[in-house]
Amino acid sequence: MKNINRLFKKGLALLPLSMVLLLSGCNSELAVLDPKGPVAQTQKDLILYSVYFMLFIVVVVFAAFTYMVVKYRENRPGRKETDYDPHMHGNNKIEVIWTVIPFIIVIALSIPTVDTLFQLEKPPEVEANEEEQEPLVIHATTADWKWFFSYPEENIETVNYLHIPTDRPIEFKLSSADAMTALWIPRLGGQKYNMAGMMNTHYLEADEEGVYKGRNSNFNGEGFTKQTFEVYAESPEEYDQWVSETQDQAPELTQERYDELLAPGLTEEHEFSSTHLAWVNHGNPEGMDYAINRHFEKYGELMHLESHQDAEDFMDEENNDDHESDRDH
Amino acid sequence: MQLDEFFVTGEPLIYAGMVSIALVTISMLFFLTYYKKWGWLWREWLTTVDHKKIGIMYILSALAMLFRGGVDAMMMRTQLAFPNMNFLNAQHYDEIFTTHGTVMIIFMAMPFLIGLMNFVVPLQIGARDVAFPYLNALSFWSFLFGAMLFNISFVIGGSPDAGWTSYTPLAGAAMSPGPGQNFYLLGLQLSGIGTLATGINFMVTILKMRAPKMRMFQMPIFTWSTLITSFIIVFAFPILTVALALMTLDRIFGAQFFTLTGEGMPMMWANLFWMWGHPEVYIVILPAFGIFSEVISAFARKQLFGYKAMVWAIILIAGLSFLVWVHHFFTMGAGAFVNSVFSISTMLIAVPTGVKIFNWLGTLYKSKINNTVAMMWALAFIPSFVIGGVTGVMLGMASADYQFHNTYFLVAHFHYVLIAGTVFACFSGLVFWYPKMFGHKLNERLGKWSFWFFVIGFHVCFFPQYFVGLDGMPRRVFTIIPEWMPLNIISTVGAFGMGVGFAIFVFAILYSYRYSEREKTGDSWDNGRTLEWATPTPVPFYNFATLPHIDSQDAYVKLKQEGKTTFEEDEVEPIHMPSNTGQPFIMMAFMFVSGFGLVFEWMWMAIGGLLAVLVMMIIRSFDYDEGFHVEVDEIKRTERSARRL
């Protein structure tokens, strides 16, 4: 048991080291540490900056702990009389030191934290060799358990996926038709809540082309796990092309169709050549009870969702429900 | 209502739960009847007002709840081990993480610590009971009936499924219809009454009932942490009470406080919940700090390093705990300025906490460390908690939190602080004070096995979760994608390791009951520093035959030096003690009935139960039982036999 004891303590001392290795090893793989845009980059830099401080603290405490536990064991061979002082009750000098140092660390962490907090409220800054662009406004609205992305200027709307141009700030207008959710695209940046009856502004930007995973990260009921979407970040030309194709080819979104889609449940990807903002904006106080007034009964129904199922498995059912709701209207 | 709507149907796991509940109940009834123990149960336990017995009942209930919450945890870990697992469906998973969180915080961590406080604090300050023994019994029964009300939800009516935070509008009547969420509201409300009363009780006990001449800055550190915790309880719990009442009005009586309709303010719930919820996490961590301080000082055979700094650190942490609640939702969009303020106040908590860590290390410096099981739990706490602490500071940096929030990084953090802090402290404290409670020690060998399984399992379970969180795995998902599998499998293995550790711990309790040597002296570990060790074991129901005069910290160290005891024969006087009473049990049983009625919105039952409670209160108002006196002869007889004089 004693050997294990010692082994364990050595292992504990190695823990911070393993943390460094894991962090550096996984650097390229862990989503949050693999930024594809300036916002995520800022956050990654801040996280790594803080990790150095944390590792310093961990190393200091672990080293002191290991020293104490090894040296002052009662039955350590070679213990001296002077190793025991039962009446020691404090030491002002050292107590001041270990109060002041953490305080300085807190200051060192606060400054960049506050700085980035104010930065993240604005569109990401443009790099020297690029010209400044107006942010692209996209309304990201959630309803149990799907995403609506409305492009008011382009007058198109997508469900459960979106396209964005690279190197242009995206100004997300976040709101929810029902429960509180959060828009999170780890490789592009942190999350923010979508809430009914109010609107949050959230800036993100992609500087590399690619398909990124996005999701609702705030629990909102049975379909939460499946409330994901994909972000297609593409060159401005490709993006413009996609916009005009959608404008030309996608059907118009009628209020009736929108109300059907709002009903709780899973749904596949869709695209439309108009937006629901024409008749309701869930980010306004007036839009807060729109969904609940129309689908009150359905919020209590279970889907009996299992892990291998996704939207497709519920399509037939959804169609049946559609007929029922048609009758209601 | 049909019977199949009343009982939960269609889930094999829940049928198994029903069968085991039925079997345990039947065997308990059989045991009590066969051995004619009903009278014993009623006289010795159900009607007791003795703080020691109430403390033991708290701890036993908390261990049962730890089992329940642990089973929930292992079911979740099983479901998350592999992608596309079909062990639990989404709904069942949602119910289980909701009950896991609620049970562990409200019905495990808090009662466990309150149990230890109940048993230890009056003994540490030289009191013969708490200030309000009747109220103390009431507190316990309100907790137990509240816990039962919450727990029966999984076989009757259905479990709540909106998370332990129960954010509105999700938890409102529209999106979570049915009795599940009502069980949450009323279970918490009922047990909250008891917690609030406990806070008041211990505040008064510690402020007014200390041994003669014991000054505030001579109190043992666990008593200090209990006092501060009591203040937090008294300031924080009313917020929960009000918030729960408002949501109950919403759900059952059609009010619109937190609804999407009628200009409700759903986000107000998040604020109210965390204005209680953040102080709540300090309610479960400060007593833990107190326990570690006592255990480390005892088994290092050394006075606590920086006692005054420790006390002020606790007070500072308690104050700050009310000023940080927004950090639970930095992502709500309150703006850069608000987030900056709460970011800094959050990180500031690290300063007094760091001071405490260094003071524990200072206590170990030039000490004689005796590696008993209680000490091992306390030592394991230090490095483990530091990992939880530094990641907590990272979460406190709001702009980085946008990436950590709602992920397994957060899950890993709060398990690192709550398990390494609170759960290790519960085990450490229980092992430490066990001989005082039951007259024999827990088997050390088994204790070490359970320690290693639990601690290693804990790190294996939660350390990988930091990384899977950074890889974008949100909390509360019921199934994983293949990329997250390797870390999740490791995590699941660790969780089962902890399960094995807990099982060995329970086995150690049963084994030690049969085989451990019975204690002969009151100072079981031969290193007691505080007054509880001055009492004989088993502790007489009046605790102290004579009250010592206290003029230093570590009162018992001084007593031992002076050759004094808590039984100075020529100073013995009759002792006034409170009488046992069944009223608290009966009153809270009616409260349970009333709560159950409200859950199913059966108003006749709810009102009937409340009327019965009112009748009980009236009976209590005309109760002139002044207690009784223990005569000098009886005290001398008890003490002589307990001290083997």
Confidence at residue A28, expressed as pLDDT on a 0 to 100 scale: 54
Please compute the mean of the pLDDT values over residues A39-50 and round it to a whole number.
Answer: 97
In this predicted structure, the answer to whether residue A326 has a pLDDT above a threshold of 90 is no
Cα angle B347, B419, A44 (rounded to 5 degrees) comes to 40
A and B: number of Cβ contacts within 8 A? 304
End-to-end CA distance of chain A: 74
Q: What is the β-pairing status of strands A270-272 and A156-159?
A: antiparallel
Domain boundaries, chain A: 2-74+90-119, 140-328
Has domain A2-74+90-119 been given CATH number 1.10.8? Answer: no
| Yes or no, beta carbons of A117 and B343 under 8 Å apart | yes
> What is the tens place of the pLDDT at every residue in B390-407?
999 999 999 999 999 999
B interface test, pick of A42, A104, A198, A217 with most B CB neighbours within 10 Å? A217
Residue B629, pLDDT > 70, answer yes
Which of A31, A50, A198 lies at the smallest CB-CB distance from B471? Answer: A31
Measured distance CA(B416)–CA(B425) in Å, rounded: 13
pLDDT tens profile B155-190: 899 999 999 999 999 999 999 999 999 999 999 999
Q: Which of A205-219, B1-15, B291-305 has the lowest mean pLDDT?
A: B1-15
* Residue-wise pLDDT tens digits, B435-485: 999 999 999 999 999 999 999 999 999 999 999 999 999 999 999 999 999
Q: Do A95 and B355 touch (CB under 8 A)?
A: yes
Residue of chain B whose alpha carbon sits nearest to that of A121: B336
Query: pLDDT of B226-246, one tens digit each?
Result: 999 999 999 999 999 999 999
Determine the residue of chain A that is closest to B366 in CA distance: A84
pLDDT by residue (tens digit) across A98-141? Answer: 999 999 999 999 999 999 999 999 999 887 777 788 999 999 99
Smallest CA–CA distance, residue B444 to chain A, in Å, is 12
B174 contacts A299? CB cut-off 8 A:
yes
Nearest to A50 among B361, B394, B472 (CB): B394
pLDDT of res. B19 = 86
B interface test, pick of A34, A71, A114, A298 with most B CB neighbours within 10 Å: A114
Decide which of B27 and B611 is more confident. B611
Q: For testing the chain A interface, which of B403, B406, B476 should be mutated: the one with the most A CBs within 10 Å? A: B403
The yes-or-no verdict on residue A317 having pLDDT over 90 is no
| Separation in Å, CA of B364 to nearest CA in chain A | 6
Asked if pLDDT for residue B644 goes beyond 90, the answer is no
What is the residue-wise DSSP string for A208-229? S-EEEEEEE-S--STTGGG-EE
How many angstroms separate the CA atoms of A3 and A10, rounded? 11
Instruction: Report how far residue B173's alpha carbon sits from residue A296's, in angstroms, rounded to the nearest whole number.
Output: 10
Please tell me the predicted confidence (pLDDT) of residue A129: 73
- Subunit contact B261:A22, Cβ cutoff 8 A: no
Task: Give the gap in angstroms from C-alpha A114 to the nearest C-alpha of chain B.
Answer: 5
Interface test with A, best of B365, B458, B560 (most A CBs within 10 A): B365
Instruction: Output the pLDDT for position A2.
Output: 47
Summary mean pLDDT of chain B: 95
pLDDT of residue B15: 84
Do A159 and A13 form a contact (C-beta atoms < 8 A)? no
pLDDT at B571 > cutoff 50 = yes
Question: Whole-model pTM?
Answer: 0.94
| Tens digits of residue pLDDT in B405-432 | 999 999 999 999 999 999 999 999 999 9
Could B470 and A32 be called an inter-chain contact, meaning their C-beta atoms sit closer than 8 Å? yes
What's phi and psi for B428, nearest 5 deg? -60, -50
The mean per-residue pLDDT over the stretch B200-207 comes to 98
- What mean pLDDT is predicted for residues B192-212? 96
Which residue among B351, B382, B472 sits closest to A106, beta carbon to beta carbon? B351
- pLDDT higher than 70, residue A13: no
Q: Which CATH class is domain A140-328?
A: mainly beta
Question: Is pLDDT of A329 > 80?
Answer: no
Here the contacts of A146-151 (C-beta below 8 Å, separation 24 or greater) are A146/A227, A146/A261, A146/A266, A146/A267, A147/A214, A147/A216, A147/A227, A147/A229, A148/A261, A148/A276, A149/A229, A150/A275, A150/A276, A150/A277, A151/A243, A151/A275
Buried b (16+ CB within 10 A) or exposed e, A53-67: bbbebbeebbebbbe
Q: Which of A62, A99, A219 sits opposite B383 (nearest CB)?
A: A62
Instruction: Check residue B16 and give its pLDDT.
Output: 84
Chain A environment of B274 (Cβ under 8 Å): none
Q: How confident is the model at residue A10 (pLDDT cuts 50, 70, 90)?
A: very low
Residue B5 has pLDDT above 90, yes or no: no
A136-189, pLDDT tens digit by residue?
A: 999 999 999 999 999 999 999 999 999 999 999 999 999 999 999 999 999 999
| Inter-chain CB proximity A225 and B479 less than 8 Å | yes
Instruction: Look at residue A322 in the predicted model and tell me its pLDDT.
Output: 45
Subunit contact B347:A33, Cβ cutoff 8 A = no
Is B10's pLDDT higher than 80? no
Report the pLDDT value the prediction gives residue A22, as an integer from 0 to 100.
57
Look at residues B539, B557, B617 and name the one whose alpha carbon lies nearest to residue B220: B557
Percent of chain B with pLDDT strictly greater than 70: 99
Q: How confident is the model at residue B201 (pLDDT cuts 50, 70, 90)?
A: very high
Percent pLDDT > 70 in chain A is: 87
